[in-house]
Amino acid sequence: MDIEIKVPDIGIDKVEVIEILVKINDFVSKEQTLIVVEGEKASMEIPSPYSGRIKEIKVRVSDFVKTNSVIFLIDTLSDNVILNKSSLDHINTESDHDNHKKIQNNITVHASPLIRRLARSLNIDLNNIIGTGRKNRIIKYDLDNYLTKNHSNLFNTSSNFIKKDNFIKKNDFSRFGQVEEVSLNKIKKFSGESIFQNWANIPHVTQFDQVDITELELFRKKYNSEKSGDFKNKLTILPFIIKVICKGLKKFPYFNSSISWDNKIIFLKKYFNIGIAVDTLDGLLVPVIKDVNNKSVLEIFKEILEKSQKARDGKLSILDMQGGCFTISNLGGIGGSFFSPIINGSEAAILGVSRASYQPFWNGEKFIPKLMLPLSLSYDHRIIDGADGARFISFINQNLFDIRLLLM
């Protein structure tokens, strides 16, 4: 008996189909999820009200549907058939091996739209995972556990996540206009793969704050005005930030750590090496300033100039870019307010620095100008929780606000 399956009353005028979970001739059980739809604020699963065989699919991904829209035609076989192992034995020749095996064993994938979307982004087949949630529902812990067990296979190459055949070959951009093809250089290829794997591997949290550096800027300008020399060698804010970060790493040791690939061991480092992201014509490079705990602000500044120039000249050695504990990405000279920097794989956190700007501050009687520096702190949530992330950036805030605290 053929029956239409319609969109139930979901309380929204129209929703977009973002995933179709069954194929024509698939056998489904009652309450098994058929499609996932998404509205303005949430995603939801639409289950089958019947057991039977999918005879026709009336929608496609990206279609918009509304209440009572017909989405499937299902053959219920008879009025009161409930699909189970015994009733499937005589129709197994009509289904493919995988679907038949799934229904025979009474296995149905239960997962929220969020988990399904996350699994799609990681190219994980949920059929390979046994859920530990209520009624075998797949939860985020199950995805994390699966990724840990299959780490070497999943993160060996980005092709495991992006199906290039589906994206590049099927998207002929020249259909829409003139296209110029530019090959990625070696630096961008390497950094791109590294950034991709870091983003896929590390659960990022980014904490934002603004720091009052009015007094620090006055000190910096006074110091530079009293020193002669080329303008390019005028002292900048960055070496002060590096010294403050070093002090923060001593106070919050988990920010100066790395985690093992199986998420079982945290390596607390007793050395203090800070990487600085340098924008070059060939791409992003990150030279490392070693042993900043034993160097003065001026010594650090001198080394920043030297290694930044080596980066731009293409003369950095591999050793120059190894051994970092923490990275600073400084976009203050370019612009912008806040951004979410991506953590280096062997580190626990990274600080993004944007352009400072004067903002009005109410002192109780009147507004006065304050030079505010935007900071964006990304950290590995496996190692660092939100409370410590807030404490760390507050500590950085306090020490940059009053640079004299570096002497304490």
Return the active site residues: 381
How far apart are the C-alpha atoms of 39 and 14, rounded to whole Å?
7
Burial of 401 per CB tally in 10 Å (0-12, 13-18, 19+): middle
* Joined tokens for residue 404: 């004299």
Q: Residues near 102 by Cβ (< 8 Å), separated by ≥ 6?
A: 108, 127
Burial of 160 per CB tally in 10 Å (0-12, 13-18, 19+): middle
CA contacts within 13 A on the Cβ side of 198 = 21
Burial of 404 per CB tally in 10 Å (0-12, 13-18, 19+): exposed
Q: Residues near 222 by Cβ (< 8 Å), separated by ≥ 6?
A: none
* Joined tokens for residue 112: 């929220």
Cβ pair 193, 377 in contact under 8 A: no
**Radius of gyration of the chain from its Cα atoms, rounded to whole angstroms:** 28
Please name which of 152, 380, 352, 164 lies closest in space to residue 245, comparing C-alpha atoms.
352
Cβ pair 394, 388 in contact under 8 A: no
How far apart are the C-alpha atoms of 110 and 136, rounded to whole Å?
7
Dihedral in degrees, nearest 10, Cα atoms 10, 15, 18, 21? 40
